[in-house]
Structure 1
Amino acid sequence: MEAEVIKMVARLFSGGPETCGSMTSGGTESIMMACKAYRDYAREERGVSLPEIVLPVTAHPAFDKAANYFGMKIRHIPLTKVYTVDLAAMKAAITGNTVMLVGSVPNFPYGTMDDIEGICQLGLKYNIPVHVDCCLGGFLIPFMRDAGYPLPPFDFSLPGVTSVSVDTHKYGFAPKGSSVVLYKELKYKHCQYFVTSDWPGGNYGSPSVSGSRSGGIIATCWAAMMYFGYEGYVNTTRSIVQTTRYMESELRSLEGLFIFGTPATSVLALGSDVFHIYRLSSALNKRGWNINCLQFPVGIHLCVTHLHTNPGVADQFISDVKEELAVIMKDPGLQLEGVMAMYGKSHSIPDRSIIGDFTRYYIDATYYTPDCDKLVEIKQNGVVQNGTDAHVK
């Protein structure tokens, strides 16, 4: 089933007879595997001992995570005025230690599409592999042409593209924990493997980070792809992109708001030069919407999914935005309050290590468990006693 999922996804991305890959636990692992593969390939083929990744500032933090894990260096490239990677700056950042170039289709913060053709030209000129991160939009972009929304080339049809990461657990509607990393040639995938023949327990080989993996997730991913089929994904893509374009058009007409760049697929990123945009996200979240906050510069975004294509949902979102915007515009200079005020100030703190510390403490807090033996006593009648009796749910 894994082999068939890989083959099907490879065909969606214009893969050839040598295109190969692996299923992973998610986009982060897919990205990490590509970074590990190119690190080892550059070391074996060119003797690179200080490997560097050149990528846009909007690229997923999984690349930074891979660099941290695998002893690599990141060169972050700024964006153009339309929120895509600056190719001139990317070219200037390439050195003899560069082992891979990266572009996103689309990127997570703004939903814009990097110039993959331009990145590929750099890759071919300097003989550097190009990875295209399609984790977010991987099960939209291959179907957009047939859905009536063609995109510029982004896959293995471009000579310079050597690998692609695609999440099946997003718009592929597979269960969480399934993704695919593809390589144009087997020589790159071989560098992804971990193999040792010196263990007393026997020869050991592993295609990715995980040793043990869930066969159930692979099977249900395969089943989801069988269920939807090509035409099914074309139809869901058409409805999602159509809904996104409709919402984009409506939002662009609202005073006090602007949209970052040109959304390529399903992400709408909003900003404001009139009021603090986090006021709008806070208000919309209270209405039940799931809005993400952005920084550098501050902004918010909504990722349009198949749920948003249900009748009336998009119109309800636009209506809620209009109502909250009308309230905000009565006093656009009003300062943020509560948690959002703290979050709104965090991006301006010069010492980013402080933010890192808070993040670590937050993660620690999610693992906290009280000493239940000292807090409660479970009675036989199903009542919990902790000073006063309370019913057990």
Structure 2
Amino acid sequence: MELPNLDLLTHVPQRWLEVAEKYLKAIPQVRARLDKETGAVLSHFEKRLKPYRGTLPAFERLPAQGRPREEVLRELEGLERREETRWKEGHVSGAVYHGAEDHIAFVNEVYALHSQSNPLHAELWPSATKFEAEVVAMTANMLGATEANAGLPPEQHICGSLSSGGTESIMLAIKTYRDWARETRGITRPEMVLPSSAHPAFDKAAHYFGVKSVRVPVGADYRADVAATRRALTRNTILLVGSAPSFPHGVIDPIAELSELARKRGLGFHTDACLGGFVLPWAKRLGYPVPPFDFQLPGVTTMSADTHKFGYAAKGTSVVLYRGLALRSHQYFTATEWPGGIYFSPTFSGSRPGGLIAAAWATLVTMGEAGYLEASRHILETAKALKEGIAAIPELHVLGDPLFVIAFGSKTLDIYKVMERMGARGWDLNGLHKPPAVHLCVTLRHTQPGVAERFLEDLRAAVAHVQANPGEKGTMAPVYGMAGTVPFRGVLSDLLKKYMDLLYKV
């Protein structure tokens, strides 16, 4: 996609750009040009996202007669074989965090045993609520609850719920703070202050729940700027946010300083440990430099930690934790006037898959402390070797000082072209912007023999190729470049919406 020189627009206030964009998009010639350019990009995406067209049956209507189960199973097995190679070989960033065949088989067996259970009907399946309560308790105690609870009455102990993933955990926390602030402080126009590196799930929560998201810049080390956070506080601020670690750069924000600022102001503080919750406690025990980030800090009032990431459970579970029952109660929903009877649910979902809750419980109790400690040891050792190997490539540099999520960029090369060349060699990496970079989230898949060495070998070759072919545009690199440079947010938003439309095309 050919783009004009937009450098002069980088310092124009965003509200002016939004007005200008609105009028530009209303001009037929501009609209036609945008449609043509985005159409070309989407056409490329469609080929990648819909590889089974014309090779497998497609269904826009229910078949008149149901297909034989054996036939359907054969088709599903074929799809699994086709799609599992790259993640099994460790050629993806994150995505699959354990992946060993015996572990997958065990988790699948547990899910099958409890596939019909649903904690909405606690009397029918009390096992589901047992599992959920114990997963929450185990996660809380791993994240400092034992120390935080000492000497306090039970109603002030760390508590929580299971959600469907990190995004729901974060959204539950923000909804909870909104309602808490409205009831206890009379705040009707709530704001939260968070670093620019915090996960977009916070903005999603702000969008849904009417909370203003105030983003502040990170420092030269890519960690949240405490002074900038302090300056951003207003009478409507209800909480502050920090990441442990942040998704883009893999560094841990200054949680101690941020949470203490929140505590002194009577605000909530959320530690987003979706990525690090099941790694950092063990990294600290192994002697790695892990600053305080959990409930041992008195200012931390909520946390999120994903059991389906480095907790190694099946996809679809995360834990959101609260300092005390009174705060968690604002998460709950109750309906007392419905003709269908009394209704209540702790999270956004009504019915929830008890099989996933059972799988999370079974994973935690079979891994145990020793299992998580050993898994973290392998991941951190592999990440150290990768970080050193990347830093040794003269054209590249590592951003910040990460532990296991390693972001790297370049001052001399188009890093997105390097990422694209890595894609041609079978690697699926995450593109970042502001600044342009690429990252690899190291998992147990990367600790397999030879994977780290293969990554560094391919990375050196990718860098050499981009150096030798400076005029090569590639196919995806311009899209990533556009995301980091185009000041008109609506253009990118429209493209992303069309991309999502594409996902739903048969």
What TM-score does the superposition give when structure 1 sets the normalisation length? 0.91
Higher strand share: 1
Q: CA deviation at 1:148?
A: 2.8
Query: Does 1:367 find its partner at 2:497?
Result: no
- Indicate which of 475, 485, 488 corresponds to 1:351: 488
| Count of aligned pairs between the two proteins | 367
| Runs of 4+ deviating beyond 3 Å | none
Secondary structure of the equivalent of 1:191? helix
Unaligned runs of 5+ in 1: 370-393
Read off the aligned partner of 1:188 and give its amino acid letter. L
Counterpart in the other structure of 1:321? 459
Tell me how far apart the structure 1 counterparts of residues 441 and 415 of structure 2 sit (CA, whole Å). Answer: 17
* 1:88-237 mapped onto 2 (5 Å cutoff): 88-237=227-376
Amino acid paired to 1:74: S
Corresponding residue number in structure 1 for 2:208: 69
Q: 1 CA distance for matches of 2:472 and 2:489?
A: 23
Q: Partners of 2:307 and 2:281 in 1: how far apart?
A: 13
**Match in the other structure for 2:427:** 289
Match of 2:138 among 8, 29, 50: 8
Instruction: Please give the per-residue CA displacement for 1:22-75, whole angstroms capped at 9, x wherever unaligned.
Output: 000000000000001110111111000001111011111111111111111000
Q: C-alpha distance in 2, partners of 1:146/1:89?
A: 32
Q: Secondary structure at the match of 1:85?
A: coil
- How far apart are the structure 1 equivalents of 2:190 and 2:496? 28
For residues 342 and 233 of structure 1, the distance between their equivalents in structure 2, rounded to whole angstroms, comes to 38
> Is the Cα–Cα contact under 8 Å of residues 195 and 224 in structure 2 kept in the other structure?
yes
Equivalent in the alignment of 1:376: none
Partner Cα separation in structure 2 for residue 228 and residue 150 of structure 1: 24
CA distance in 1, matches of 2:435, 2:371: 37
1:200-227 deviation line (CA, Å, top 9, x unaligned): 1122211110111000000001111111
Query: Counting helix residues as a fraction of each chain, which structure ranks higher?
Result: 2
1:311 is displaced (CA, Å) by 1.0
* Matches of 1:348 and 1:301, distance apart in 2: 19
Give distance in 2, aligned partners of 1:345 and 1:367: 24
**In 2, Cα distance between the equivalents of 1:257 and 1:334?**
19
Local SS of the residue matching 1:67 = helix
Residue 147 of structure 1: how far off its partner (Å): 2.4
Native 8 Å contact 1:105 1:114 kept in 2: yes
8 Å contact kept, 1:336–1:344: no
In 2, Cα distance between the equivalents of 1:350 and 1:8? 45
What letter corresponds to residue 366 of structure 1 in structure 2? L
Determine helix, strand or coil for the equivalent of 1:132.
strand
Corresponding residue SS for 2:395: coil
**1:267 counterpart = 2:405:** yes
Shift of 1:346: 3.1
Letter in 2 for 1:4: E
2:284 is paired with a residue of what secondary structure?
coil
CA distance in 1, matches of 2:307, 2:428: 21
Asked if 1 retains the 8 angstrom alpha-carbon contact of 2:431 and 2:480, the reply is: no
Aligned-pair CA distance for 1:345: 2.2
Which of 301, 308, 313 aligns to 2:446? It is 308
Q: Which amino acid aligns with 2:363?
A: A
Task: Specify the alignment match of 1:40 in structure 2.
Answer: 179
CA distance in 1, matches of 2:204, 2:299: 25
Q: For residue 382 of structure 1, what is the aligned residue in structure 2?
A: none
Distance 1:67 1:48 in 2: 15
Provide the C-alpha distance between the structure 2 equivalents of 1:30 and 1:327, rounded to a whole number of angstroms: 42
The whole-number CA distance in structure 2 between the counterparts of 1:231 and 1:150 is 20
C-alpha distance after superposition, 1:296-341 (max 9, x if no partner): 111111111101001111111111111222222335x435332322
What is the deviation of 1:88?
Answer: 0.6
Amino acid at match of 1:368: K
Describe the shift of the 1:335–1:75 C-alpha distance in structure 2 as closer, same or farther (beyond 3 A). farther
| Alpha-carbon offset, residue 198 of structure 1 | 1.5
- d(CA) in 1 for partners of 2:460, 2:496: 33
Q: Is the 8 A contact 2:280 2:290 kept in 1?
A: yes
In the alignment, which residue of structure 2 is the partner of 1:385?
none
* SS of aligned partner of 1:160: coil
Following the alignment from structure 1 to structure 2, what is the Cα–Cα distance between the partners of residues 47 and 261?
40
Conserved? CA contact 2:420–2:476, under 8 Å: no
Superposed CA offset, 1:163-204 (max 9, x none): 100000001110000000001111110011111211111222
- 1:276/1:336 contact within 8 Å kept: no
Superposed CA RMSD in Å reads 1.1
Shift of 1:349: 1.4
Write the distance in 2 (CA, Å) between the matches of 1:231 and 1:288: 33
Confirm or deny: 8 A CA contact 1:143 1:234 kept in the other structure: yes
Q: Structure 1: how far apart are the matches of 2:349 and 2:435?
A: 36
C-alpha contact (below 8 Å) 1:148/1:238 kept by paired residues? no
Greater relative CO, 1 or 2 (CA 8 Å, sep 6+)? 2
- C-alpha separation in 1, matches of 2:439 and 2:247: 9
* Distance in 1 of aligned mates of 2:191 and 2:447: 41
Q: Deviations over 1:11-32 (max 9, x none)?
A: 0011125110000000000000
The answer to whether the 8 Å contact 1:134/1:166 transfers is: yes
% identical aligned pairs: 45
What secondary structure is seen at the aligned counterpart in 2 of 1:148? coil
* Aligned residues of 1:147 and 1:235 also touching (Cα < 8 A): no
- SS of the residue corresponding to residue 347 of structure 1 reads helix
Deviation at residue 365 of structure 1 after TM alignment: 0.9
What SS does the corresponding residue of 2:206 show, helix, strand or coil? Answer: helix
1:24 corresponds in structure 2 to 163
